[in-house]
Chains A and B, each alone.
Chain A
Amino acid sequence: MYTYLKKARVALSVFFMIAITAAFIFFVNRESPFFSFFLKLQFVPSLLGVFSGGLLVFVILLALTFLFGRVYCSTLCPVGTYQDVVSRIAYYFKTKKKRRFKFSPVNNIRYIVFGIVVLFVIGGITLPLGLLDPYSNWGRVSNEIISRSEQLMHNGVSFLFPDTVFYRSYAHFTLGSFLFALAFLLLVTLMSAFRGRLYCNTICPVGTLLGLLSRLSLYKPAINRDLCTRCQACVMKCKSQCIDLETQTIDESRCVGCLDCMVACKNGGISYLFSYKKVKPTEIETRTSKVSQERRSALIAIGLLGTAMATKAMNLGPLMKTKPKPSGIMPPCAADSDHFKRNCTACHACIAACPNNIIKPATNEYGLDGVLLPVLSFKNHFCSYECNECALVCPNDALMPLLLEEKQVTAVGKVNFFQDRCIVKTDGTDCGACDEHCPTKAITMVPFGNDGLYIPKVNGSLCIGCGACEYICPAIPQKAMVVQGLPKQVKAKKPSLDKQEKIEVDDFGF
């Protein structure tokens, strides 16, 4: 039975990894929202989205853990699957002896890392979680490395078929973000090549949390002492290095439920067992103290998780607030910077989805606690009036999907017009590029001087900060139209209809 279960687990995990990666690839995410759906099944997104609709997924993931332990880590987590793949490839490059995994004693680094992350989350700062969360890291790896490689290949093909395959202009490149993704990928690759699921059991805060919870699981992998010959077959296969044959126990807090040991054991000596059944009297002394201690730590973890969620629910502001700089323009539907920073883990799904390539990873635009978070830049294009893709793909509800009509009246920023830089004034010639591009007619052209010229005039209440005017403004070196971000996105006035009489003419007029 476990052989088939394992095969199903491998198939599912590969499917989820591909689906999640695909959500970051240009062609796939442009054709359908199908793949973005899988982002919402990830643990941290469901946790952060708990108060705005992710509850169902969160409950399902918790239930899964309370039933079978950390199966999330071996099935749904893309980084987990990636590590298994690396570990499998490394297998072929190792000597026979090196291929064998050994039991490794518990290390407590993971609790320190987890504690720090939780403290920050309670304090309203999500960044450390975002930097360590496996899903968000995989998002950044997909976006910065996999998607860029795909783009390079695509453009290679576009040279071969220039008429049928279009060239994709290269978008923003933020070195820091690329290096961070690369460093993560290298770290995880190395760790898994040598030590299997070392990352999951040393650093990953999701792994640590689920590990604590899985101490309470109904079903746990356990060794049948009557059947076990201590042959080491399971230990050598255990990527989590959590099977201790000396005591014939499995550390369920590190076990990811990959089922490899159960398949490896020729005697069927390892299986999932109901963990709340009565223990034989002889075993009580050796077990109870350990078990109760384990359960105690699990309860503490639940307490911490509960506190974190409660503080989130009470909407306590961040303890240390850095004032957002004016240049930090949040993507549409981010509501306000507190909400945005609390919920965004910088997975970069929005960056990958933006058809205009105007979202980039922040460096210092939002301050220190906003590094890598998505920020708008109008250098290459502007925010399309008819588009709310970024909000639709966001799995964390950091960007809350608004109806298109609502998004069209939500201001992410406001434009400042510097008349002294404007071509119409400096050169005394017609321009109107900003007016031409403004979707809400917050910019109109009004008579200027006596030469029949027209100059832009801004109506701030209509401006939604889409950046079209800033993007197209030809004034150099400084643009005459500059959008300034708003720490709290506000409703703009709905553009007027400008009703006009329908005229019927019978003549050509010449």
Chain B
Amino acid sequence: MIIFVKTIMQMERRNFIKTAFLGGIASAVGLKSNDLFGAGKMSVDASNDLVAVMGGEPGQMYQKAIEAMGGISRFVKKGDKIVIKPNIGWDKSPEMAANTNPDLISAIIKDCYLAGASQVTVFDNTCDEWQACYKNSGIEKAVKDAGARMAFAHDQKYFKEVQLPKAVRMKSAKIHEAIIDCDAWINVPVLKNHGGARMTISMKNFMGIVWDRRFMHANDLQQCIADCSTFEKMPVLNIVDAYRIMTQNGPKGKSIEDVQVPKALFMSTDIVAVDAAAVKFFAQFKEMKLEEVSHIGLAESMNIGTSDLSKLKVERIRIG
């Protein structure tokens, strides 16, 4: 046990050294810290509400999208403690599209550190056994390699009671302490179909920051999903991973047959808008009406965001 603690501590130290080393290289090649932290001459176009990218690798699409959103420094300030919340619900490999793409998570973490984040934490309250999920999703390795920290979320001990006064059904919920303690968090779901909620995207991804998902299933699932998004500490950014998507047998999936590989990514500060966009994109693969995914409509009626994309400034980027 002691050895276990030690190795982890050593790992953290190694990661620290790595981060410091990267920083050293950056200064050696003459990058000003202003360039790195995005506060300098780089033009910041913060006017896009939603960015959609297609045709690249996960990290590459993220870079294009975040540039179009005005750069990460719009969302991550120097010294911030950042949480990145992917979907790591299932004991499945990345090819199965049941969990968020680890390469995408890796790219976001590195970007957060470049923006000066003091600490980046990643976690999910998994459905399958948590250690298997963390490991086999490839996310644990990606996170550790990028120098961030995997937080534990497998016990009620890690969750704290929070009031949700604007909610309709779920007036309070136990939310993970990392979310409560952080300066900002980024929501990074994967795009999948879902037997119960019809679709699982950004709003549904909140179920992994909440401890008791049985309560949500038992008390009007769609309303509870919408209620989650009344949480006052909303993610500063929602990034939908659609590099691989699950179009049937979701959210767990049976085989590789359930997966399509459209190589896309959606990014927005508006959680309702990004989910609506993702559903419309998904509908090209499998019939799915926006009204069917009723938590999106419920959230819109609660003024959480808008699903009317024509009202928004949308940038569409195609790579290659």
Contact = CB atoms under 8 A, between A and B. Distances in A.
Interface of A: 27, 30, 150, 153-154, 157, 161, 163-167, 169, 355-356, 381, 384-387, 423, 427, 429-433, 435-441, 444-445, 452, 454, 472, 474-476, 495, 497-500, 502-505, 507-510
B217 A474 contact: yes
Interface string B176-194: 0000000000000000001
Interface stretch (B3-11, B35-43, B62-70, B80-88): B3-11
Is the contact region of chain B dominated by helix, strand, or loop, or is it mixed? mixed
Contact of A505 (B12, B157, B214, B262): B262
A246 B261 CA distance: 87
5 contacts: A167-B155, A433-B213, A436-B196, A495-B255, A502-B260
Interface stretch (B102-110, B124-132, B140-148, B229-237): B124-132
B220 A437 contact: no
Nearest to A495: B254
Contact of A498 (B5, B54, B91, B258): B258
Contacts of A454: 195-196
Given A430-B197, A475-B218, A510-B309, A441 B254 contact: yes
A472 B214 contact: yes
Given A163-B151, A503-B284, A355 B132 contact: yes
Given A164-B9, A472-B214, A503-B285, A384 B260 contact: no
A426 to B, nearest CB: 10
Contacts of A430: 196-198, 220-222, 294
A430 B158 CA distance: 28
Contacts, number: 156
Contact of B196 (A431, A440, A495): A431
Contact of B1 (A154, A381, A452, A497): A154
B267 interface: no
B251 interface: yes
Contacts of A436: 127, 194-196, 251-252
Interface stretch (B14-22, B23-31, B160-168, B275-283): B275-283
A164 B12 contact: yes
Nearest to A440: B254
B74 interface: no
Interface string B288-320: 000010100000000000000100001010000
B89 to A, nearest CB: 9
A387 B261 CA distance: 28
Contacts of A474: 214-215, 217-218
Contacts of B281: 505, 508-510
A474 B221 CA distance: 11
Nearest to A424: B196
A430 B223 CA distance: 9
A165 B129 contact: no
Given A163-B149, A430-B294, A476-B218, 20 more contacts: A27-B1, A150-B1, A164-B12, A165-B4, A167-B158, A381-B129, A384-B91, A386-B91, A429-B221, A430-B222, A433-B213, A441-B254, A444-B195, A495-B254, A500-B247, A500-B258, A503-B285, A508-B52, A509-B282, A510-B281
A508 B316 contact: yes
